[in-house]
Amino acid sequence: MNNIFSQNQILCLLTLASVVLLGSNSSAVAQTANVIGNNQAASRASNNVVPIPGTVATTSAAFANSTATITTPNTGNQTASNQSPSKQIAQADINPGRVTRGGSSYVGVAGNIGIGGGDSALGDGNFAVISKIGLTRTISVRPSAVFSDNTAILIPVTYDFSAQSSEDPFAEPLPFAPYVGVGAAIKTGNDESRIGFLVSGGVDIPLNQQFTATAAVNAAFFDQTDVGLLLGIGYNFRGL
């Protein structure tokens, strides 16, 4: 009888212990599930944070978006800066009346001394109007007219050499600036007008900021070659 009672007590104790162990395990599993669920919810909430003006963005997604927003305009600025030199180069065009490396543009008067020929006024001693119109740093057009019964109009395009003796900016400039060129010569008169080939060369001598002296030899090829020496002075100007 005592053995049966003691066995019943042992079974009751074992049953109670099993119930206690099962209850503690269920509580631990529930707590672990709650912790995992809370962590997942916090992660979702951090990813869905919308930056508010005046606050600091703390999520990696917000930082990536802000970086993309900042770098996009910079790409456009770099493209514009890369295109700006080409636009500046395209804008460097002809500027009539500009200063060339040989000196200022001018208009003036001259005397022509005939050296050879005589088919036009260029081959005789006559009065002339002269000019220089700078187009670029090195190129000029130098229209002139020698007046007589057979007036000669000369339109040479010349290459102007530098008045600087060397590339050294501190070197003293030469007292003259040579030039050479070719163009057209037009002879007018009582008979029909004629156009011939023209070769021209000379020097400009800057006197001051207002005046430039010039000397030029011109050869016009009509039926015969007319050669004349122009000696004159011009009044400087800039731009047309």
pLDDT in tens, 88-107: 444 447 899 999 988 999 99
For the chain, what are the domain ranges?
Answer: 2-90, 105-237
The structure tokens 């036009």 sit at 120
The reply to whether the predicted model has a pTM over 0.95 is no
Grade residue 117 by pLDDT with cuts at 50, 70 and 90.
Answer: confident
Give per-residue pLDDT as tens, 30-69. Answer: 455 555 555 555 555 555 555 555 555 555 555 455 544 4
Distances in Å between the alpha carbon of 19 and those of 5, 16, 26, 30, 58?
21, 5, 11, 17, 48
Q: H-type helices in the chain, by residue range? A: 2-47, 60-90
Radius of gyration of the chain (CA): 49
pLDDT at 29 over 50: no
Query: With 0-12 CB in 10 A as exposed, 13-18 as middle and 19+ as buried, what is 149?
Result: exposed
- Candidate CATH numbers 3.40.50.720, 3.30.470.10, 3.40.50.1950, 2.40.160.20; the one for domain 105-237: 2.40.160.20
Which of 2-6, 199-203, 235-239 has the highest mean predicted lDDT (pLDDT)?
199-203
The pLDDT tens digits for 178-198 are 999 999 999 987 777 899 999
What is the helix (H) or strand (E) element at residue 30, kind and residue range?
A: helix 2-47
At 224, the pLDDT band (50, 70, 90 cuts) reads confident
H/E run at residue 95: none
